[in-house]
Amino acid sequence: DTGVSQNPRHKITKRGQNVTFRCDPISEHNRLYWYRQTLGQGPEFLTYFQNEAQLEKSRLLSDRFSAERPKGSFSTLEIQRTEQGDSAMYLCASSAGHNNSPLHFGNGTRLTVT
Amino acid sequence: AQSVTQLDSHVSVSEGTPVLLRCNYSSSYSPSLFWYVQHPNKGLQLLLKYTSAATLVKGINGFEAEFKKSETSFHLTKPSAHMSDAAEYFCVVSGASNYQLIWGAGTKLIIKP
């Protein structure tokens, strides 16, 4: 079980720059999720894919955020024109195809915008 | 609508003593409930889940939780705390779909030597 893999683990960027994060889910999982977590809070849902289709996006996901899962395997989350408020841990999770199957999380990418 | 309340933001216990982390939920239908654990600078790991089978659910690392519909509770317990249990614990209730997970604010478990 290779688990969910996220890269990079840490990213420090200057305000206004673009950043891209990658998530490799568990290979047999067709569902993939992105969450954001700030210090002392639980994860906040950002977006969800079933295979390559992006089925749901949170209102938290502004126009500067875009996520893709082009072949239904790995996913990327891009943030354009980063702002200091984007500093957070970005978590990726995957799950099997049936409802209420548990989510398996990666270790996250910690973004710091200076 | 679903909601989840973790009643304590911090719980401190001595090593070797029992652990109780409290969670109350609200749901308009039969929910699925989960406990996740997060160690510092790590991702979230599933401890256990309840999905309308046995009301007493056993998880990893000696944790268990009991679903009590009459009390709308899903408290997490462990008979004897270990130093490695120090982490943040999240109670989660599901909505109609996986992505509709409602997360509690978390309880930080502190283990005193």
Q: What are phi and psi of B71, to 5 degrees?
A: -105, 0
Q: Residue A64 is which amino acid?
A: R
- Is pLDDT at B108 greater than 90 in this prediction? yes
- Name which of A100, A106, A108 is nearest B32 (Cβ-Cβ): A100
Q: Do B98 and A45 touch (CB under 8 A)?
A: no
For the stretch A9-35, pLDDT in tens is 999 999 999 999 999 999 989 999 999
- Is pLDDT at B50 greater than 70 in this prediction? yes
Cα of B107 to nearest chain A Cα, Å: 9
- Is pLDDT at B27 greater than 70 in this prediction? yes
Residue with tokens 């130093």: B83
- Name which of B41, B90, B98 is nearest A101 (Cβ-Cβ): B98
For the stretch A43-89, pLDDT in tens is 888 999 999 999 988 887 889 999 999 988 999 999 999 999 999 99
Q: Do A91 and B44 touch (CB under 8 A)?
A: yes
What does DSSP say about strands A109-113 and A10-13: parallel, antiparallel, or unpaired?
A: parallel
- Is pLDDT at B48 greater than 70 in this prediction? yes
Q: Give dist(CA B106, CA A95) in Å, integer.
A: 22
Q: Residue B8 is which amino acid?
A: D
Q: Where are the alpha helices (DSSP H) in B31-92?
A: none
Instruction: Name the CA dihedral angle for A23, A28, A29, A34, rounded to a multiple of 10 degrees.
Output: 0
- CA A49-A87-A72 angle, 5° bins: 15
- Is pLDDT at B30 greater than 80 in this prediction? no
Please provide the average confidence, as pLDDT, over all residues in chain B. 91
Burial class of residue A44 in the structure, from the number of CB atoms within 10 Å of its CB (0-12 exposed, 13-18 middle, 19+ buried) = middle
Residues of chain A with C-beta less than 8 angstroms from the C-beta of B99? 33, 45, 48, 55-56
CB-based contact, A67 to chain B, within 8 Å: no
Instruction: Report the share of chain B in percent with pLDDT over 70.
Output: 96
Cα of A79 to nearest chain B Cα, Å: 21
E strand intervals along chain A: 5-7, 10-13, 19-24, 31-37, 44-50, 53-57, 65-68, 75-79, 88-95, 104-105, 109-113
Confidence tier at A41 by pLDDT (50, 70, 90): confident
Least confident of A43-52, A95-104, B11-20, B38-47: A95-104
- B100: Cβ contacts below 8 Å, ≥ 6 apart: A45, B2, B94
DSSP H or E stretch at residue B77: strand B73-78
Among all residues of chain A, which has the CA nearest to that of B31?
Answer: A100
Average pLDDT over every residue of B35-57: 88
Distance, CA of A50 to chain centre: 14
- A14: Cβ contacts below 8 Å, ≥ 6 apart: A82, A113, A114
The DSSP code for A103 is P
A18 within 8 A of A76, measured Cβ to Cβ: no
The DSSP code for B104 is -
- Is pLDDT at A94 greater than 70 in this prediction? yes
- Name which of A4, A42, A101 is nearest B105 (Cβ-Cβ): A42
Confidence tier at B54 by pLDDT (50, 70, 90): confident
